[in-house]
Amino acid sequence: MESREREEFVRSWGNVLMKTWEDEDFKARFQENPAAVLNENGVAIQEGATVELTEPPEGAGPDLDKQIDLYAEGQQSGSYVFYVQESNQLETQEVSESELEGVSAGACCSSILSCCCC
């Protein structure tokens, strides 16, 4: 998967996942017809493909690299697997002013923050 495709997938998939945590109606619709909801929200799913929604393996937590690999495999096979956490499992941390300034300036050198372009 090329860098641009990867970025688009990460952004779109992240938006879908966050909506499932915030909107019960969206979550129900997603569980009922995942391929349609994914396509509507920028995650390209081939027509006629199967989409399986499952919890991540125990102890794995959110693993974006694994999800990207599973999506790429689905593009080849027509059988997609998406790890869906029941709630936001990302840890939040305090960010210092210097780290915040680095982010706003476009730097990617924080030990706490990372960016997908590095």
25-80 pLDDT, tens digit each: 999 999 999 999 999 999 999 999 999 999 888 766 667 899 999 999 999 999 99
- Residue 56's pLDDT is what? 85
Domain, as residue range, for 21 = 3-83
Say which residues have a Cβ less than 8 Å from residue 75's Cβ, sequence separation at least 6: 1, 44, 46
55 is a domain residue: yes
| Residues 41 and 72 both lie in one domain | yes
Which pLDDT does position 28 carry in this prediction? 97
Share of residues in the chain with pLDDT > 90 (%): 60
With respect to residue 88, please indicate whether it lies within any of the assigned structural domains.
Answer: no
